[in-house]
């Protein structure tokens, strides 16, 4: 039985004051939740998360990481630095990183490796654009993105990682993949991993992301291969995020 994970991706939102208020509400809502809960914040707020969440069940992480260990990479943040701020998770390959910041499959794979090397749990984001879906290329795109990581890191590396399927056309648009659409891709991801290592695939958590709201979360999370969610906009509203966590159990 895979324990569900609901992770908030705050993207480039927040302030010290707003974060403190949001985290207070989250902490108060934690008792009774069965699922694991995490928040992924902008880098400058990781110290605040460490201070406010260290003695709670809420885990935290970053939204990206350098593929390099250290050196002359102005503006970058290494995986070891994220560890110093108590991060458990780091998003790699979010579609906004891929499309707006030019991260290729190879760069995403290198970031995945860098995260794992220091014990961070990468949340590997995969997903097709609307044009790719309409061209019938969803399975091919998601497989290509996944294979880039498996080829570089080896399938065994997925044992200490999480996958998130986030169709680009559903991110921030209010258009969610239907539970059946999401389930179909999640099952295909699990099958691809199972072809290499069935036991590992069985334990792999695959999150769905893209316009998850309190109204649609339960139906999505009820699908066999959906093991929680990666939440954008709704993660900034305490009541909504907690309602989504409750839908996960
Ligand atoms: P929304 O929930 O705002 O659609 O964002 C999803 C996302 O990109 C999470 O990483």
**CATH number (domain holding residue 23):** 3.20.20.70
Nearest-CA residue for ligand 1 atom 5 is 232
Please report the pLDDT score of residue 164 as a whole number.
98
Please report the pLDDT score of residue 43 as a whole number.
98
What are the DSSP E strand ranges found in 32-189? 36-40, 59-62, 89-92, 121-126, 162-165
List the end-to-end C-alpha distance of the chain, in Å, as a whole number: 13
Q: What are phi and psi of 54, to 5 degrees?
A: -55, -35
Counting the structural domains of the chain, the total is 1
CA distance 205 to 225: 8
Q: Which of 94, 96, 128, 186 is catalytic?
A: 94
Which atom of ligand 1 is nearest the CA belonging to 164?
10
Nearest-CA residue for ligand 1 atom 1 is 232
Could you tell me the pLDDT band of residue 28, with boundaries at 50, 70 and 90?
very high
Mean pLDDT of 51-64: 97
Helices and strands, counts by H and E, the chain: 11, 8
Ligand 1, residues at Cβ distance < 6 Å: 9, 94, 166, 171-172, 209-212, 230-234
Distances (CA, A) of 80 to 42, 130, 137, 216: 16, 36, 37, 37
Domain extent at residue 45: 5-247
CA distance 221 to 232: 16
Q: What is the largest CA-CA distance in the chain?
A: 48
Whether 166 is catalytic is yes
For the chain, what is the mean pLDDT? 97
Q: What is the pLDDT of residues 79-88, one digit of tens each?
A: 999 999 999 9
Could you tell me the pLDDT band of residue 106, with boundaries at 50, 70 and 90?
very high
Separation of CA 191 and ligand 1 centre (Å): 25
Q: What is the pLDDT of residues 107-162, one digit of tens each?
A: 999 999 999 999 999 999 999 999 999 999 999 999 999 999 999 999 999 999 99
R_g (Cα) of the chain, nearest Å:
17
Nearest-CA residue for ligand 1 atom 2 is 232
Structure tokens given for 167: 């169709």
pLDDT at 1 over 90: no
Separation of CA 72 and ligand 1 centre (Å): 32
Q: What are phi and psi of 144, to 5 degrees?
A: -60, -45
């Amino acid at each position: 039985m895979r324990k569900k994970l609901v992770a908030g991706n705050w993207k480039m939102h927040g302030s010290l004051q707003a974060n403190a208020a949001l985290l207070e509400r989250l902490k108060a809502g934690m008792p009774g939740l069965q699922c694991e809960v995490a928040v992924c914040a902008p880098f400058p707020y990781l110290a605040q998360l460490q201070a406010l969440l260290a003695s709670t069940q809420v885990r935290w992480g970053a939204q990206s990481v350098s593929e390099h260990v250290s050196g002359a990479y102005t503006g970058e943040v290494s995986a070891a630095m994220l560890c110093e701020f108590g991060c458990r998770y780091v998003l790699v390959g979010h579609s906004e990183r891929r499309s707006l910041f030019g991260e290729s499959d190879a760069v995403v794979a290198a970031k995945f490796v860098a995260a794992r090397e220091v014990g961070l749990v990468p949340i590997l984001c995969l997903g097709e654009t609307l044009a790719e879906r309409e061209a019938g290329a969803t399975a091919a795109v998601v497989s290509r993105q996944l294979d880039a990581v498996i080829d570089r890191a080896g399938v065994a590396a997925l044992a200490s990682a999480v996958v998130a399927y986030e169709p680009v056309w559903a991110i921030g648009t209010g258009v969610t993949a239907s539970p059946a659409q999401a389930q179909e891709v999640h099952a295909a991801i699990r099958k691809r991993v199972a072809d290499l290592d069935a036991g590992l695939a069985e334990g792999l958590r695959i999150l769905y992301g893209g316009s998850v709201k309190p109204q649609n979360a339960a139906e999505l999370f009820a699908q066999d291969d959906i093991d929680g969610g990666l939440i954008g906009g709704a993660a900034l509203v305490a009541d909504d995020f907690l309602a989504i966590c409750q839908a996960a159990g």
